[in-house]
Amino acid sequence: MKLNKLFGIIGSVHVPSSLIAAQAGTDGGSPAEKRLEWLRSQLIGRDLQFDTCFGKRLLTYADHTASGRCLRYIEEYITQQVLPFYGNSHTSDSSCGEKTTRMVHEAREYIRRCVGACPEDALIFCGSGATAAIKRLQEVMGIAVPANLRSQVIENLREEERWVVFVGPFEHHSNLLSWRQSIAEVVEIGIDADGLVDMEALELQLASMKYSNRPKLGSFSACSNVTGIIADTRALSRLLHKYGAYACFDFATSGPYVEIDMRSREEEGYDAIFLSPHKFPGGPGSPGILVMHEALYKLRSFPPSTCGGGVVAYVNGFNAKDTVYYNDIEEREDAGRRR
């Protein structure tokens, strides 16, 4: 990940004066090394000592794959520049509401630029990490149902209506269990000799007559959170698109460390990505992120996945059918947001 992305706050690159001073110093080290050292100095808890059975020990945090750590300058910025002006992000009737709404919009556009989203891609903030982002995709695709109704719904589906979802051999539970609990048929692809997704096995399944007339989607981890093996997402995208399947990738593990360029209009582009910003440096407390091509949104003629404040243009007090929801995906999938 480019270093300047670590310093982006609310849609702009906010560089604290202390960092500028550090880079201007006469001591040795490249500007990049100075930026990294300054960033380390901002980690909250960096010099913390705690009691152990061996006496006091310096805290060494080694679980960044599970969650990032808070950064002092970000927390100070939020405390001093964001929270004093906090208001409802669905309104411009007050100065606080207008400012908060603008900051949310700027943050969304900043993230869109960082991941190479095109105008046809929607960016949706979703609850808790990539888990919520994956679940939201299932909801807007129309394949998420309550567990107690799942069997009945599947029984009443025509085979050609039921989605087929291909997953890899090292998926996080959030990119496996929720698909299994949807009404899609899940096909697990094995591992090859190099520890990667078996591309030959995937192509055999994609080309199978069994799935030829059904909607298809591949949802693969971009990087294993156990071994650190990085998947060839471009090759997977090309293969999936060759057989008319959508290409979706879980960047929860590798998001803080790799460049992400959706290029959803291209053969090797991504149709959806899932992010867990809480795993980024300074990210704790942030929501999950779903970026998806509009073609995956199947609720155009239906109410949004969550109905409530901020997504509706008109409410009839007598007839739910006359309710008018916003057309824009990002607006209609943003009910009741709190910042």
Is residue 288 a part of any domain in this protein?
yes
Is residue 69 a part of any domain in this protein?
no
CATH of the domain at 181: 3.40.640.10
CB 31 within 8 A of CB 38: no
pLDDT per residue of the chain (339 residues) written in tens, 0 to 9: 444 444 444 334 456 666 666 655 556 678 889 888 999 999 999 999 999 999 999 999 999 999 999 999 999 999 999 999 998 887 778 899 899 999 999 999 999 999 999 999 999 999 889 999 999 999 999 999 999 999 999 999 999 999 999 999 999 999 999 999 999 999 999 999 999 999 999 999 999 999 999 999 999 999 999 899 999 999 999 999 999 999 999 999 999 999 999 998 899 999 999 999 999 999 999 999 999 999 999 999 999 999 988 898 899 878 888 889 999 999 999 987 654
Is residue 84 a part of any domain in this protein?
no
49 and 125 co-located in one domain: no
Tell me the residue range of the domain where 30 lies.
3-62
* Residue 183: strand, helix, or coil: coil
Is residue 326 a part of any domain in this protein?
no
Which of 62, 92, 107 is a domain's end point? 62
Count of domains in the chain? 2
Q: What is the pTM of this model?
A: 0.90
Q: How many CB atoms lie within 10 A of CB 309?
A: 12
Is residue 9 a part of any domain in this protein?
yes
276 and 148 co-located in one domain: yes
Among residues 219, 116, 123, which one has the least CA distance to residue 169? 219
By CB atoms closer than 10 A (0-12, 13-18, 19+), residue 56 is exposed
Which of 26, 45, 62 is a domain's end point? 62
Q: How far apart are CA 214 and CA 337, in angstroms?
A: 35
CA angle 175, 178, 183 (to 5 degrees): 125
Is residue 173 a part of any domain in this protein?
yes
Is residue 329 a part of any domain in this protein?
no
Which of 46, 62, 78 is a domain's end point? 62
